[in-house]
Amino acid sequence: MPVECISWLDPKPGQVFVDGTLGGGGHTRMLAEKVGNQGQIISFDRDAIPIERAEETLKGLPVAVVQSNFTEIPSVLDQMGIQHVDGVLLDLGLSSDQLEDRERGFSFESDGPLDLRFDPTEGEAASEILGYLPEKLLADLIFNNGEERLSRRIARKICERRKTEPIETACQLAQLVISCYPRVRGKRNQIHPATRTFQALRIAVNQELSSLEKALKVLPGILKPGGRLAIISFHSLEDRPVKEAFRDDPRLKPLTKKPARPTDNEVAENPRSRSAKLRVAERVEIEQ
């Protein structure tokens, strides 16, 4: 939703913005072109690959790129001598480049390792968790992080399979999940049966929900009065805490009564955007 993000954030020449999720760099580029050489964009990503690409694709633009979780934005800005910024953008979830990455298990068809970590140097890979987590805890993880109604069936099948062979690739897990689903014919535009299970594991290994919770507490503090915080979420587990934080934090005034959604044209060009929801809030002064 690049057009909507730029419209709501309203960047002007000389301003300073943070893009907390660099990804393919599209939002960063648009912000940088708006603020010009007198402004600055500081972009964050936990994944080293988009940062390496950005050195070439964003060359010549007023962009500083940092490999770090967006929860660390305040401390990084402090190290850079920046107290407050004019706006922050978070585009949660996976980038298109990550979805196409067959080396870390983000693609269902991948024969590469089932890793799912944004930063492969942190924490445990998804395949490791599948190897030891008890069936009940695994079912709870898939249900709570993926809202998967067949979580217990899937967890039981995983635990049965790992007795004879480890589940090490995305393709192995995707095929196992598919086998847990009844065959349904004639329905179009269905999401892949493994989508929710992969989402659940990805959220777990990257601690995405706890990172979002922390970010929602610390990011309003780095905004100038009138500065804006824009967050794109892709499922209710992300959208719900954003909505509640924007409503309940006295430092923020919600600007979007209902989340902005992608246009039909954008969905046609990028089907992944169909579930995107953009919420925006503005920093306000708190009366003493």
Please tell me what DSSP assigns to residue 136.
Answer: H
Positive or negative torsion for Cα 23, 27, 30, 36: negative
Residue 246 lies in a domain: yes
Structure tokens at 227: 């500065």
Instruction: Say whether pLDDT at 164 is over 70.
Output: yes
- What is the pLDDT at residue 186? 47
Lowest mean pLDDT among 22-31, 104-113, 213-222: 104-113
- Contact (CB, 8 A) for 261 and 231: no
Last residue of a domain, one of 178, 206, 234: 206
Q: How many domains is the chain partitioned into structurally?
A: 2
Q: SS3 of 269, please?
A: helix
Terminus-to-terminus CA distance in the chain, angstroms?
Answer: 37
Q: What are the DSSP calls for 86-99, one per residue?
A: EEEEEE-S--HHHH
CATH number reported for the structural domain that contains residue 148 in this entry: 1.10.150.170
pLDDT tens track for 119-129? 989 999 999 99
pTM, 2 dp: 0.92
- What is the pLDDT at residue 223? 98
86 & 155 share domain: no
- What is the pLDDT at residue 77? 98
Structure tokens at 20: 């907390």
- Contact (CB, 8 A) for 168 and 189: no
Residue 288 lies in a domain: no
Lowest mean pLDDT among 58-67, 145-154, 197-206, 264-273: 264-273
- Contact (CB, 8 A) for 86 and 16: yes
37 & 72 share domain: yes
Nearest-angstrom CA–CA distance, 234 and 126: 21
Nearest-angstrom CA–CA distance, 99 and 194: 14
Residue 225 lies in domain: 2-91+209-283
pLDDT tens track for 86-106? 999 999 977 766 666 667 788
Q: What is the mean pLDDT of the chain?
A: 92
Token look-up 């480049």 returns: 97
- What is the pLDDT at residue 4? 94
242 & 200 share domain: no
Instruction: Say whether pLDDT at 48 is over 70.
Output: yes
279 & 219 share domain: yes
Last residue of a domain, one of 143, 172, 206: 206
- What is the pLDDT at residue 187? 54
